Structure 1
């Protein structure tokens, strides 16, 4: 007898986390957080920031310890925002971490329906 396995459909996005060179509102260094708390394949978390004065659709990117390391690019944030509001299953992970003086982080996001 055959076993049927339903595989959910997913949308996959890969991008660079932006704003990694800025300090957080509490003064913590995003660069130091990345250095301490982010490695390739680590889980990352996404959080809406509707009170953001520059972009009400802003989506924060958080480390595995839930400290902010930056934001999603505006065009990607618009797509992910509705998934966050609708509580769609979202998997996000660090695709890469690189740089010498300034660390950058790549992110892979899977929205599963």
Structure 2
């Protein structure tokens, strides 16, 4: 079990917070975690500079595909939680400065119990030159 973040060569392992809350549309994050996530799944992280509780907040989302092939396929993004305040403060500036991060499910804890937790692996990738400048500009307007 991962209790605190661990940083190794720019990688971070940490536990998500807010996984027991419902999303704005009323959908249970716990149901999304139990029904959609498996170890190794890629996750999407989004800095939320307009978050009223924490300007460094970083939310974590999973992409869910429903339907058939090609035209009948629908892709949704569903929030499953947030990075802790400490980890978010570190990564928010890193991301907004044009660097890249990837995030994936390291493990799901408590399966079969009322409440599940999600441990994630975050890999930091420093970006240089024009790509970094373009990333920073794009993220400043999103």
Coarse TM-score class (shorter-chain normalised): 0.7 to 0.9
Deviation at 1:50, TM superposition (A): 2.0
- Structure with the larger helix share: 2
Structure 2 partner of 1:83: 94
Mapping of residues 2-21 of structure 1, within 5 Å: 11-21=10-20
Aligned-partner Cα distance in 1 for 2:99–2:36: 26
Aligned-partner Cα distance in 1 for 2:23–2:98: 26
Match of 1:74 among 78, 85, 89: 85
Structure 1 partner of 2:62: 63
The count of residues paired between Structure 1 and Structure 2 equals 104
Aligned-partner Cα distance in 2 for 1:26–1:51: 19
Instruction: Flag as ranges the 4+ runs of structure 1 deviating above 4 A.
Output: none
Aligned-partner Cα distance in 2 for 1:87–1:43: 20
Unaligned runs of 5+ in 2: 1-8, 65-76, 127-142
Q: In the alignment, is the contact (CA less than 8 A) between 1:37 and 1:64 conserved in 2?
A: no
Aligned-partner Cα distance in 2 for 1:80–1:64: 21
Higher RCO, 1 vs 2 (CA within 8 Å, ≥6 residues apart): 1
Structure 1 partner of 2:139: none
Aligned-partner Cα distance in 2 for 1:94–1:76: 16
Structure 1 partner of 2:35: 36
Unaligned runs of 5+ in 1: 1-9
Q: Residues 29-57 of structure 1, C-alpha deviation per residue, up to 9 Å, x if partnerless?
A: 10111112211111011001122221111
Task: Give the aligned CA root-mean-square deviation in angstroms.
Answer: 1.2
Q: Residues 40-88 of structure 1, C-alpha deviation per residue, up to 9 Å, x if partnerless?
A: 1110110011222211111001113321000000010011102221231
